[in-house]
Amino acid sequence: MSFDSLGLCAELLSAISSQGYTTPTPIQSQAIPVIFEGCDLLAGAQTGTGKTAAFALPIVQMLSETTIRKKRRSPRVLVLVPTRELAAQVSKEMQNYGRRLSLRSTMIYGGVNIRAQIERLHRGVDIVVATPGRLLDHAERGTIKLSDVEFLVLDEADRMLDLGFIDDILKVVEYLPWQRQNLLFSATYSQSIKQLADELLDQPRRIEVARRNIAADAVVQAVYPVERNRKREMLSHLIRKGDWNQVLVFARTRYGADKLTDELLFDGIQAAAIHSNKSQSIRTRTLAEFKRGELRVLVATDVAARGLDIERLPHVVNYELPQVPEDYVHRIGRTGRAGEDGVALSLVCPEEQQRLLAIEKLLEYTIPRQMIAEFPQIAVKRGRKSQAKTSKKGKGPSKPKKKPAQQKKQAPAKKRTPAKPTTSRRGKVEAAKVAPKLGRRLSRTKPRS
Ligand code: AMP
């Protein structure tokens, strides 16, 4: 399939070709026609699949086809995202396509002064990409008018629920008009996502694309067993020996990220940390330096890394395994993007054994173990019989032979089934807590008077 056959206008086709995209990704070829038809959409797609363009292109085109002449523009598209970084990424794409059709877009997120955002909104915009908390703040202050919204997009909806945004989302939705097109994108289908979809979407069309992030073809994975107190030494060794120049390293906590950054700097490796305790201007600057290749190592926490879009990131290292297995998939999705190969390594100490097993259970795949001659061999058990041979000592990871299973097809969602509580994690909303909130009728069925 080509972009030409998707019914996109000449301006957008030219924008696409100047991005260097030649063929639509699976989510693009499936979602664009559905969105053009005006249907609600429930899409199972992760970051890295091309989902942003999948919703941005048709929305921008439809918006430009129905220009509304008004004294001052008020938003007709609202995209809700979990993090500032994802807001920046989505907004950039919206701007890139929108400006060719004379549409204005803006970004709204917390942690920065609200004044500039109010002024921008006052001047008039067509598209708003926002994190839920700050958007609600604007809605409650009356500094944004949401009654003209025609398209609502929930991007990375699962992550928004993980981060505890359910209340804010539900409150924001009450400011929206009843008549609108809703698109929900989520990497996973938990019970809470199904309930959110049941309430917000009207007879949605469902699309699910493969979890390309764990496809063996795109990402080479390996586990390096190591004592906890030698992890930092091993990381420096891998970076130096492998002559890696652009490495994204995941730490579990903000404190851990800062500490590791200091240690790498001490080892003479240029590094910086990015996490939610850093100001937005520092985060933006650090990310820009990393993208330009001026920073060798970026140490990030899961929340900060969400939505990072860095072209052709060659190396991702799990310095500590995440507590939630799905986060592993999100993390390694930062590499092997847009058709490029990538390497995702995990430094695993014996204390992390259970986490590793949970990840391998989710992947339905045993990640090959690797050894480095300079580090003593230690035991980190295998969950299942390994499906891939390990490569020779110190030669780096081998490509897994067997493709991990793709995301299972989801059974049709049952209405109002009691939710199973999710694993407890700071900031994570339990499904059981979400369910009653979703039980109340939203603006789709009860318009705001
Ligand atoms: P997303 O899933 O929207 O985060 O997109 C992930 C990456 O895929 C971004 O770096 C995009 O630039 C890239 N991308 C999106 N669509 C295409 C396409 N049709 N062909 C190649 N790369 C693409």
Average pLDDT, the chain: 81
Check residue 68 and give its pLDDT: 67
**Alpha carbons 425 and 427: distance in angstroms, whole number:** 6
Domain that holds residue 313: 219-380
Counts for the chain of helices (H) and strands (E), in that order: 16, 13
Tokens of 138: 């604007």
**52 pocket-lining for ligand 1 (C-beta < 6 Å):** yes
Say if 410 falls within a structural domain. Answer: no
412 or 48, greater pLDDT: 48
Tell me: pLDDT of 63 over 60.
yes
Domain boundary among 208, 239, 273: 208
**Alpha carbons 425 and 323: distance in angstroms, whole number:** 8
7 and 140 in a common domain? yes
**307 pocket-lining for ligand 1 (C-beta < 6 Å):** no
258 and 178 in a common domain? no
Instruction: Taking residues 407-411, report their average pLDDT.
Output: 36
Least confident of 26-30, 274-278, 318-322, 441-445: 441-445
Residue nearest to atom 1 of ligand 1 (CA): 50
44 and 25 in a common domain? yes
223 and 98 in a common domain? no
Check residue 340 and give its pLDDT: 61
Check residue 20 and give its pLDDT: 85
CA 232, distance to chain mean position in Å, is 27
Domain boundary among 380, 401, 434: 380
Say if 445 falls within a structural domain. Answer: no
259 and 172 in a common domain? no
What percent of the chain is predicted at pLDDT more than 90? Answer: 50
Which residues make Cβ contacts (< 8 Å) with residue 356, sequence separation at least 6?
A: 223, 321, 346, 348, 367, 380, 383
Say if 30 falls within a structural domain. Answer: yes
**311 pocket-lining for ligand 1 (C-beta < 6 Å):** yes
**15 pocket-lining for ligand 1 (C-beta < 6 Å):** no
Written as one letter, the residue type at 267 is D
Instruction: Taking residues 130-147, report their average pLDDT.
Output: 96
C-alpha to C-alpha distances, 94 to 54, 100, 123, 130, 366, nearest whole angstrom: 11, 10, 18, 12, 39
Domain boundary among 208, 236, 260: 208
pTM score of the predicted model = 0.61
C-alpha to C-alpha distances, 322 to 355, 401, 425, 431, nearest whole angstrom: 7, 25, 11, 20
Say if 431 falls within a structural domain. Answer: no
Q: Is the dihedral of CA 279, 285, 289, 290 positive or negative?
A: positive
Q: What is the CATH number of the domain that holds 245?
A: 3.40.50.300
**Alpha carbons 40 and 73: distance in angstroms, whole number:** 24
210 or 397, greater pLDDT: 210
How many independent structural domains does the chain possess? 2
How many angstroms separate the alpha carbon of residue 412 from the centre of ligand 1?
A: 29
327 and 190 in a common domain? no
366 and 227 in a common domain? yes
156 and 15 in a common domain? yes
The pick from 4, 19, 183, 334 for probing ligand 1's pocket by mutation, whose C-beta has the most ligand atoms within 8 angstroms, reads 19
